[in-house]
């Protein structure tokens, strides 16, 4: 879930109290869910259809353009796959 990813992102801050926004994403076979997180909470969540983008990088760039954010230095992604 996006809440779990937001929590996972908090571990990347390593005491950095400025809490700049990071990108979190839950990537499935059909949809990619993106949001911005400060490691405590998330915002600007959007769902993009995976088939609309040639790869994950393009989908992430499209999301970032949608929410007007272009300076993200951290991220946490969950990607579906066989176990």
Tens-digit pLDDT profile for residues 5-48? 666 666 655 655 566 788 999 999 999 999 998 877 889 999 99
- Cβ atoms of residues 2 and 24 within 8 Å: yes
Cα(41)–Cα(33) distance, rounded to whole angstroms?
15
**What secondary structure letter does DSSP report for 51?**
G
- Confirm whether pTM is higher than 0.75: yes
Q: For residue 5, which of 61, 31, 43, 56 has the smallest C-alpha distance?
A: 43
Quote helix, strand, coil % in the chain, to nearest 5.
30, 30, 35
Kindly indicate the confidence band of residue 75, based on its pLDDT and cuts at 50, 70 and 90. Answer: confident
């Amino acid at each position: 879930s996006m809440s779990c990813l937001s929590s996972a992102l908090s571990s990347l801050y390593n005491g950095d109290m400025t809490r700049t926004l990071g990108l979190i994403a839950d990537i499935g076979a059909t949809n990619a869910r993106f949001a911005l997180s400060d490691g405590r909470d998330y915002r600007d969540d959007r769902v993009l259809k995976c088939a609309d983008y040639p790869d994950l990088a393009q989908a992430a760039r499209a999301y970032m353009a949608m929410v007007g954010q272009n300076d993200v230095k951290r991220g946490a992604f969950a990607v579906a796959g066989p176990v």
